[in-house]
Structure 1
Amino acid sequence: MPDRPEAVAALLANAGFPWWIAGGYAIELAVGRELRPHSDLDILVLRRDQSRLRDLLTGCDLYVADPPGQGRLRTWRPEEVLQPPLHDIWCRRRPKAPWSVQVMLDEAEDAQWVSRRDPTIRLPIDRLGRTSETGIPYLAPEVQLFYKAKATREKDETDFEAALPVLDGPACGWLADAIRVTAPNHPWLRRLLPANRT
């Protein structure tokens, strides 16, 4: 099981469906430097492509968080198609090995990404990610920061401070609009105003 973005990119090079490095690694790919240690590697895949992903992970030990956010995992059964609200898949090389990859399934309607937190928050799929200079797809920093805004930890604040200078006006505007829907009093909103960006 790969545990670095470069290894994931090699594994998924011919996947035939869109995928993106997510989490803290996505922010590092956006800013072009390492920021902090990582305990695992996150990947975002559209729910509609889960079976194709499963085929690429044959031989790995795969579990799903069920129910989400409760700290309980169960085996992702062969041929099982995960339906909402299930969206979090944990992967490791073999039983009892450390978890190395977390796959998050997100929703889509035609050519639009749809936030599972609020379906009014959308983005064209072709704007959901970017590609590093070495060819690694990663989640656009404004989208990754939207995820991180839900319950910010110290590492999320670190990522926000690092990513803010690389966000252009439209990216800041989209992020601010998205956060206003789910957390209207979030402290990042003030920082996203053009006059307050550093």
Structure 2
Amino acid sequence: MSFEQCQSITSLMAGFNKTWGIAGGWAIDHFIGKETREHKDIEIAVFRKNQLYLKDYLKEWEFKKVIKGEFHSWENEFLELPVHEIHASNKLNGAKIEILLNETKDNDWKFRRDLRISYPLTSVWSYSETGIPYLNPEIVLLYKVKNTREKDHQDFMTIKDYLDIEKKQWLRYAIELHEPKHKWLQYLFNLLC
């Protein structure tokens, strides 16, 4: 996979008039401006409140919701927490994307695993030089603190020096609240001293 696949998602989503962005490891790479590792899939983030708009927009796609690690057909019901992951396949060309539902309340993004953690909606997204929207890296990294895999740690080590003070402080605060024994806290502490 390459940035071209992300560009094709941007073309696909060009007429979708709700907020969305590339998520996961690809978001980290867009923030840096280069590919830093191999990616096996493309994930996009949308706000939960816009899920049915997205389903209506992608009429040629088949959707599966993930419940406790298992795929189930997603009809037209509004998906509530804990369901947050949807897999979509284009019935015409076989293209696949993973959709991650993100929580909002008023003018804030809310971390679905710990609703005490929030971020202003205006600070959740950025755009690459080529105009591709992506979830900001500090939010992507927060999602990666649960069951951190090697690729997640690689993403953290790649991006940590690119984050400004405010992003590092917010990430440290959020991890301390959610996973107070996580190994990234020591790195963040050292970066902030």
Q: Measured at CA, do residues 108 and 71 of structure 1 come closer, stay the same or move farther in structure 2, by a change above 3 Å?
A: same
Aligned position for 1:41: 42
Give a deviation string over 1:50-81, Cα, whole Å, max 9, x none: 11111121111210002xxx32111111x221
Specify the alignment match of 1:189 in structure 2.
185
Q: CA deviation at 1:94?
A: 2.9
Structure 1 partner of 2:140: 144
What does 1:128-167 correspond to in 2, within 5 Å?
A: 128-167=124-163
Amino acid at match of 1:124: P
State the 4+ residue runs in structure 1 displaced beyond 3 angstroms. Answer: none
Q: Deviations over 1:110-134 (max 9, x none)?
A: 2111111111100111100111111
- The percent identity for this pair of structures is 37
SS state at 1:108 partner: strand
Structure 2: distance between partners of 1:141 and 1:165: 12
Cα drift, residue 196 of structure 1: 3.6
Task: For 1:86-165, list aligned pairs within 5 A.
Answer: 86-94=83-91, 97=94, 100-165=96-161
In structure 2, what is the Cα distance between the partners aligned to 1:53 and 1:132?
22
Secondary structure in 1 matching 2:102? strand
Partner of 1:14, secondary structure, is coil
* Structure 1 residue ranges without an equivalent (≥5): none
- In 2, the alpha carbon distance for the partners of 1:23 and 1:8 equals 14
Aligned residue type for 1:109:
K
Task: Output aligned runs, 1:9-28, within 5 Å.
Answer: 9-28=10-29
* Residue segments in structure 2 that go unaligned for 5+ positions in a row: none
1:133-155 Cα shifts (integer Å, max 9, x gaps): 11111011111011111111111
**Length-normalised TM-score, structure 1:** 0.90
Q: Which residue of 2 aligns with 1:73?
A: 71
Amino acid at match of 1:31: I
Number of matched pairs: 188
Partner amino acid for 2:147?
A
Does the residue aligned with 1:61 lie in a helix, a strand or coil?
A: strand
Which residue does the alignment assign to 2:167?
171
After superposition, the C-alpha distances for 1:81-125 in whole angstroms (9 at most, x for unaligned) are: 112211110011239x5x721101111112111111111100111
Whole-angstrom CA distance in 1 between matches of 2:191 and 2:80:
41
Tell me the distance in 1 between the aligned counterparts of 2:91 and 2:148.
32
Q: CA-atom RMSD, angstroms?
A: 1.6
Secondary structure class of the residue paired with 1:43: strand
Return the alpha-carbon distance in structure 2 between the equivalents of residues 108 and 176 of structure 1: 21
